[in-house]
Amino acid sequence: MEWVFGKLVEIVSKYVTKKMEGAVPEWCDAAIDKVKRKFRSYTPLSRVPDPVVDFTGRQKEIGTLLAALRGGGQAAITALKGQGGVGKTTLALHIVPQLAEHYPGKPVIVDMRGLQSPPRPAVEAMAEIIGSVHPEAKIPDDPHARQTLYRDTLSNKSVLIILDNAADTKQVRPLVPPPGNGLLVTSRQLINLDHGTVVRLDVLPPDEAAALLCAIAPHLKPEEVPELAKLCGYLPLALRVAGSFLKLHPNRSVKDYLKLLQDERQRLTNLTNSDNAAHNVEAVLALSIQQLRNEKSELAQRWQELSVFPSDFDRDAVAAVWKLESESAEADLTELYDRSLVIWDEGLQRYRLHDLLRALAVPATGTDAWLDMARLRHARYFHKLLKTADDLYLARHDKVLEGLRLYDREAANIAAAAAWAVEHWQSDTEAARIAARMPSDGGNIYNMRLSPTQWIALLEPAVNAARKIGDRPAEGNALGNLGIAYDINGEPKRAIANHEQSLVISRAIGDRKGESADLGNLGIAYGKLGEYQRAIEHYQQQLDLARAPDIGDRPGEGRALGNLGNAYSALGQRDRAIECYEQRLVIARAPDIGDRRGEGIALWNMADEWNLLGDREQAIALARQALVIYEELKAPNTTQVRAALAAWTAETKR
């Protein structure tokens, strides 16, 4: 996501400049600005990488950290203070397995983007942590509601939270978890929190730096190691890259390598902010990259193309960006791994670029045609992947979570693809096609994972992109989903305006299923306005269309019946509501439908109606069936159903 946020800021600056020159319409600036603002609040689910296998030294610091994090029932807060590349995150990850007994829950790591402007807001980090602990949770937009949900989610838990690259104490303080959870903070600044232990991390002592080099490159002679460690400034990242380079090239003498390193450091003085030897990691990194260019220029360009990935990635995605077969891509990735130019995470089974390497991978101009093509291939691939995740979500009940997991794993890449399409749709026809279709092709997933305002920020450009390329079906889908997003966002009048436009298009292109869906969506919006009779009229039209012989849309029929039941319930017509829910239940349970979500909703709605009619026994029986399904699917309102069932059961025993 860091790449996405940076690019969005760059995009907005470009468009503002062009706007002042009269080169683009005013609405385009607003659309780009909205995407920039809304995507800043989105975060994918966190995953903690595995620790490095050749970790060396830091025994004193390890002891201090373990003592702080193992003790007591209060949140253990530890700040690591040190310069870039000094190994703050590496040390944090190293002690995670040693804390598993004290924090049996899945650890969570969040990049706080402390060196960016602006850093990640605390409320955004809360959303990521909540999503990691409770993936099915609906994240509220309101900051106070989110803070409450954050503490409720972590209450009575034992989770180790790692806030990586924090900006300052003010950013971290709202994220202090309830007692019983652990908090480990890494930062270049002093983090001063109550009851916190501070460990100031410096470069490695010479003996530990030498030991790390020998662990990485065992063929080094003892007399060669001290000078190499000194030239690397005893900085762990520089030591690791230099050691890997010499391990990969045993034919190169250390003496010659040091001469080259000296030259590179002089040429790259513009990449360092200090004369301190510990800040010379750019020279070490650049030397490895230059060596790759000299030996394999094509592979060097492919390595640069990896900068299109804002987060970790797998082999198949790389193969798509490189236009290679998977086996060939794997071979090239393996060589890059051997050269320490990519990182392999064994636990995630995925690759990634180190942040410092990513900065060197992006061309200085950022406008190379070959890199633009790599970004296009990246957007194509993740548009297709998003649609796959959405199709899984819509399939049988056992595929719902599979679709969500696929999206969560690739959320950062999907967001980058969407941002690229929004940036380029005016000048690139394929970008316009992706921008027009992507928000609707992933509509069901986006409805679960993005807030309405985030989804709207994608859908509004989608409508304009579809109109530009004359894609009427995509325009209708975007308008319909835009209406749904506005409805969820509490703006039913704006929802109606978009649904009416979508309905016109559905009828014009002969999309009878789309017309049926539009009518149902209009009914929902009118119901939000309290116009239940008008809503029923639309639901009945939706039902008639779904039942038409030339359509035969059984899932749509079920949804229409459920909508009618909700309207009759709002009017207090319990018997008619139950009748509609019963018919929806039959459809949901049909072997060729298998709609477990619809089945659970119908059962719960029927239970609620019977409870209002005073038949508590029937209500409990239906609610128990609904709860089984809700728990199976990990539905967001499982807790609500469970609580109601418990209350009803307790009351019947009095």
Q: Which residue has the higher pLDDT, 521 or 233?
A: 521
The predicted structure's pLDDT at residue 228? 87
* DSSP track, 16-62: HHHHHTT-S-HHHHHHHHHHHHHHTT--PPP-PPPPPTT----HHHH
The answer to whether the bond into 118 is cis (omega within 30° of 0) is yes
Name the percent of the chain lying above pLDDT 90.
Answer: 50
pLDDT of residue 571: 95
The neighbour count for residue 434, using CB atoms within 10 Å, is 27
| Least reliable range by pLDDT among 17-26, 148-157, 185-194 | 17-26
> Using CA of residue 458, residue 127, residue 378, residue 437, what is the dihedral sign?
negative
Q: What pLDDT sits at residue 563?
A: 94
* Residue 384: predicted pLDDT: 98
Residue 243: strand, helix, or coil: helix
Residue 55 has which token pair?
Answer: 């970790």
Residue 4: the pLDDT is 43
Q: What pLDDT, on a 0 to 100 scale, did the predictor assign at position 474?
A: 97
Window from 105-109, 160-164, 255-259, 538-542 with minimum mean pLDDT: 255-259
| pLDDT for the residue numbered 240 | 83
- The pLDDT of residue 24 is 53
Strands 350-352 and 343-345 come out as antiparallel
Taking all residues of the chain, what is their mean pLDDT, rounded to a whole number? Answer: 84
Q: Is the pLDDT assigned to residue 333 strictly greater than 90? A: yes
* Of 588, 578, 565, residue with least CA distance to 622: 578
Distance CA 81, CA 93 (A): 15
How far is residue 26's CA from residue 20's CA, in Å, rounded to a whole number? 10
pLDDT mean over 201-225: 89
Per-residue pLDDT of 372-382, as tens digits, reads 999 999 999 99
Q: Are 141 and 163 in contact (CB under 8 A)?
A: no
pLDDT beyond 60 at 272: no
Q: pTM of the entire structure?
A: 0.68
Distance (Å, rounded) from C-alpha 471 to C-alpha 438?
A: 13
Residue 110, strand partner residues: 163
Q: Are 581 and 561 in contact (CB under 8 A)?
A: yes
Answer with the residue of higher pLDDT: 248 or 567: 567
* Higher-pLDDT residue of 306, 201: 306
Using pLDDT thresholds of 50, 70 and 90, give the confidence band for residue 12. Answer: very low
Is the pLDDT at 23 greater than 50? The verdict is yes
Decide if pLDDT at 122 tops 60: yes
The reported pLDDT for the residue numbered 234 is 80
Which residue from 319, 304, 309 is spatially nearest to 413, judged by alpha carbons? 309
Give per-residue pLDDT as tens, 51-107.
777 888 899 999 989 988 886 444 445 555 455 677 888 888 999 999 988 898 789
61-65, 227-231, 523-527, range with greatest mean pLDDT: 523-527
Under the banding of pLDDT at 50, 70 and 90, the label for residue 612 is: very high
Lowest mean pLDDT among 149-163, 180-194, 473-487, 509-523: 180-194
End-to-end CA distance of the chain: 54
Q: Which range has the worst mean pLDDT, 33-37, 107-111, 577-581?
A: 33-37
- Where residue 425 falls among pLDDT bands split at 50, 70, 90? very high
Residue 45 has pLDDT above 70, yes or no: no
- Region 288-294: mean pLDDT is 81
Name the DSSP class of 471. -
Assess whether pLDDT exceeds 90 at residue 544: yes
Q: What is the pLDDT of residues 382-406, one digit of tens each?
A: 999 999 999 998 876 567 778 888 9
Buried b (16+ CB within 10 A) or exposed e, 610-648: bbeeeeeebbbebbebbbebbeebebeebeebeebbeeb
User: What is the spatial distance between Cα 248 and Cα 63, in angstroms, rounded to a whole number?
Assistant: 34
Q: What is the pLDDT of residue 389?
A: 95
Q: What does the pLDDT read at residue 276?
A: 40
User: Under DSSP, is residue 537 helix (H, G, I), strand (E, B) or coil?
Assistant: helix
CA dihedral 494, 499, 502, 507 (to 10 degrees): -150
Structure tokens that stand for 248 in this block? 């990969």
Return the pLDDT at 635: 73
Q: What are the phi and psi torsion angles at 81 (to 5°)?
A: -115, 125
Q: Tell me, what amino acid is at 114? A: G
Q: Strand, helix or coil at 642?
A: helix
pLDDT at position 394 is: 82
Average pLDDT value for residue range 117-130 = 89
Residue pair 167/114 in contact by the 8 Å Cβ criterion:
yes
Residue 545's nearest CA partner among 515, 505, 500, 570 is 515
Q: Give the DSSP H/E element, type plus range, for residue 479.
A: helix 472-488
Give the per-residue pLDDT at 428.
94
Judge whether 370 and 305 are in contact, CB under 8 Å.
yes
**Hey, CA dihedral for 373, 379, 381, 384, is it positive or negative?**
negative
